[in-house]
Structure 1
Amino acid sequence: MIHYAMTHQEFKDAARQHQIDFKVNDHEINVPADRFPIRFMKRNGKEYRIDVRSSLTWKDAVDENGDYRIFFSGFRHEITEIINQMEFPSKGQMVTNLLRSEHIPYNLFYPMRYDLDGAAMLFNRILGKNKIAGIGKILIEYNPGGLHDGTSFDVFVEYDNKSGQKGGIGIEVKYTEKEYPIKRGTKEWNETHNEAGIHLADNYRKPNTDCGWFKEKHIGDVPFEDAEGMTHHVVANQYRQIWRNHILGASMVLGLCDDILSEFTSLTIYPKGNVHFSGIWSEYESMLTPSGQETFRHLTYEDLFHMMQECLNVTKIPNLNQWMDYLNRRYIIK
């Protein structure tokens, strides 16, 4: 039998169908197949109907208790209360679109606060070092402000190391996403380019250079004429989000915000089938110095869920086995 990797579009199509099947057939949501939002688009004077089968209608997005169905039922009420207390520009998409990743950090990491000892064991395994003495807090959608932009950690884990110093893990959680093109004239463009080519504004340049985690040729100015240099730079489309998460942590180590760390690790979580992310790590890591490589990790959902099952304690986390079964049913595409 010949095995081959899916293209990214094939993976996204498979993930979309997986979420549609989950929505219809799994008891956690269990919405009839013929009930979904309908959008209309106009193009060249004609109106087109789009059936959004991988999303929930507003009516179906909440259960009989008024809690959001997109979250695991065992922790749904608690997470819903948190969501309702916070300002989310894309809250509607978060609680209705099953294919987007904004809700996933809550389903994966919120329950870990019940077992911080088990979470410490888990993250020690992920880091490959027994450095974490205890976890202080697990925050979701956290921006310490060190880059003076909108960059946030999907999840931020604060811990004390064995020397009594404060460390942190900044986590990016991906599902079907890949790179996104940067648009000329936007704030992000102006902070990473000028009229000549790639040029980092001070809010990015200082943590980028001062942390010592990146090789100079991948963070310096590059003219538009240098096509190879443009595509092998940390701000290139395929690396930019990962890099910004990485230097947000650097800003904390460098004391560029109030929340100061002695050490930091950037961690990206993604499904094994997402070939965009599985294909960029060796190139991104080649841009890092030896000290930078010590601050960077990546892990698939499949490996993460296996480690969680081994490290977390069923006597401390309510519904641990049901929760782990849910995560595998919900996000692993076989």
Structure 2
Amino acid sequence: MKDVWKENAKSKQLEYKHRLGLTASGTWGKDKIEYPHILEDEDAKNGANFYCYKDQEEWKRLQDWAKRSNGKKVNFLGAGMKNMLRSEHIPYNLFYPLEKFRKDNPQMLKQFLEELFKKQNISIDKITQIKIEYVSGRSRKELLNDNTSFDAYIEYKKRNDTCGLGIEVKYTEKSYPYGATEKKRMFDDDSEYNLLSKKSGYYREEKLHKLRSKILKQPWRNHLLGLKLLELNEIQKFYSVHIYPEGNKYQAKVCDEYINCLSDKGKNTFVPVTFERFVEVADKVFTKPENKNWIDYLKRRY
């Protein structure tokens, strides 16, 4: 069956590529087949997938931030990062500009986040860090002992509490297949996943078995990583944020079904946010002329 949203997204990305004057196609897979929605290596190397394309100083700053945040150099020539229909590059376009606000205009960033998460009644004293592909300073064994990480992570202070926003970003993606170890843990009632879920009180007991389904397993794991940080007292409050475009009806369904598994205690801690809502709030808060290019870029690009 034809994926209407993916076709629409593809048209948008090819229009974007055309506006940049890019004509070369990148390759995918072992057979190195060319696809127009995949950037050619030289274009990717120059930052064509990012809002700061043609501003080489800003592109270098973004890469430096990614390296500091990640603890290692990020491979911007990776297959997923060059694919304009995948979400790997998008957190950089959303959150590096926010990191700049954190340093240069923290009050405006605070206003943006409090407006974006108004329904959750989030109140912020100080935003302390914004990171990309973040897990924790702890070893994996101390956490979920897997490769779960947040696409982006925002940490802030409220009085004496350290609070975290663990963010997952989707674009055209649906669900991904089970890994062998992942599936074994999910279907083992005595695994860390299931024991932590029961202990947290965040889930309806009669819905616990649904969390391991293919459609829900990723939001479940992302949420569990935050719950583990709470258990370890690394943070005192946590919100799991799921960002996706309105057109991706599959991800809207993921959010609805996941929320249906949450208890009253858990519901306020899972926050679906559409791209459109993110941009709407950014447009409302970041009104200075120098912010217009970034916001217009997000509107036209996605």
Aligned-residue sequence identity (percent) comes to 29
Say whether the 8 Å CA contact 2:186–2:194 is kept in structure 1: no
Whether the aligned pair in 1 keeps the contact of 2:216 and 2:257 (CA below 8 Å) is no
Between the aligned partners of 1:301 and 1:40, the Cα distance in structure 2 is: 29
The letter for the 1-side match of 2:123 is: K
**Equivalent in the alignment of 1:330:** 301
Q: Residue 71 of structure 1: CA displacement?
A: 1.4
- The structure number with the bigger radius of gyration is 1
- In the alignment, is the contact (CA less than 8 A) between 1:8 and 1:274 conserved in 2? no
In the alignment, does 2:276 pair up with 1:293?
no
Deviation, structure 1 residue 114: 2.3
- Deviation string, structure 1 residues 60-101 (Cα, Å, up to 9, x no partner): 2233xxxx2211115322123345672557851244211111
Unaligned runs of 5+ residues in structure 2 are none
1:154-197 CA distance string (max 9 Å, x none):
11110111x331111111111001112325xx11112112xxxx
User: How many angstroms does 1:216 deviate by?
Assistant: 1.4
Q: Which residue of 1 aligns with 2:93?
A: 107
Q: What residue number does 2:185 align with? A: 191
1:37 matches 2:2 = no
Say whether residues 1:263 and 2:237 are aligned partners: yes
Q: 1:213 to 1:40 in 2, by over 3 A?
A: closer
1:18 corresponding residue in structure 2: 12
Deviation at 1:313, TM superposition (A): 5.8
The 1:246–1:114 alpha-carbon spacing in structure 2 relative to 1, beyond 3 Å, is same
2:125 is paired with a residue whose SS is strand
How many angstroms apart in 2 are the aligned matches of 1:41 and 1:141? 26
Q: Is the 8 A contact 1:71 1:79 kept in 2?
A: no
TM-score (norm 2): 0.86
Q: For the residues of structure 2 that align with 1:155 and 1:141, how far apart are their CA atoms?
A: 6
- Whether 1:213 and 2:202 are equivalent positions in the alignment is yes
Aligned counterparts of 2:29 and 2:259: Cα–Cα separation in 1? 43
List gaps (5 residues or longer) in structure 1: 1-6, 43-48, 194-198, 221-232
Check 1:248–1:91 CA distance in 2 against 1; reply closer, same or farther (3 A cut): farther
Pick closer, same or farther for the CA change 1:100–1:201 going to 2, 3 Å.
Answer: farther
- What's the offset of the Cα at 1:14? 1.4
Checking the alignment, whether the CA contact within 8 Å between 1:69 and 1:76 is kept in structure 2 is no
Give the TM-score of the pair, scaled to structure 1.
0.78
Deviation of the 1:126 alpha carbon: 2.6
Q: Distance in 2 between matches of 1:313 and 1:18?
A: 25
CA RMSD of aligned residues (A): 2.3
Tell me the residue number matched to 2:173: 177
> If each structure's helix is expressed as a fraction of its own residues, which one has the higher value?
2
Following the alignment from structure 2 to structure 1, what is the Cα–Cα distance between the partners of residues 2 and 127? 36
The match for 1:311 is 285
| 1:298 alignment partner, SS class | strand
CA distance in 2, matches of 1:82, 1:169: 19
| Contact 2:175–2:214 (8 Å) recurs in 1 | yes
CA distance in 2, matches of 1:90, 1:236: 32
Give the whole-Å Cα distance in 2 for the aligned partners of 1:8 and 1:217: 35
| 8 Å contact from structure 2 (residues 44, 76) kept in 1 | no
Worse-superposed segment, 79-88 or 69-78: 79-88
The equivalent of 1:139 in structure 2 is: 131
In 2, the alpha carbon distance for the partners of 1:84 and 1:248 equals: 22
Does the aligned pair in 2 maintain the 1:117–1:135 contact within 8 Å? no
